[in-house]
Structure 1
């Protein structure tokens, strides 16, 4: 089976995780420190995606239906 993520993408995630552990990883607009593991992974993947590395597309969330 083919690799889902490229090696470069894995390296980006690893870099983000190290920055999180060091306490220097910041989130987008607010610039707050990232404490969550999941958020650090998401940041690493989005950076890899921006560089054009092989990363699957983001999952679409289910839209809430209006009542009435």
Structure 2
């Protein structure tokens, strides 16, 4: 019997939105943001606005990956937050 971490179950079966496979492993922050935006806007299972759902899932992934997330990928994902803000017109 294989056990999975609860965070993996949340990422795969979240009520927030349905993610494209491998979205968090991409190397282009803008591509990650576009994918999250598309998923959030098309999801019928989310409870918050599309922007909040997409940003929540991105932040959740960064936090749960923690020390196991390579520094290079963490920088890409942090940059994806800024791209996501731009995509939704929520720039600082």
- The question of a shared fold, defined as TM-score above 0.5 by the shorter chain, is answered with no
Higher helix share: 2
Higher RCO structure (Cα 8 Å, ≥6 apart): 1
TM-score bracket, shorter-length normalisation: 0.3 to 0.5
TM-score norm. by structure 2 comes to 0.29
* Structure of higher CA gyration radius: 1
TM-score norm. by structure 1 comes to 0.35
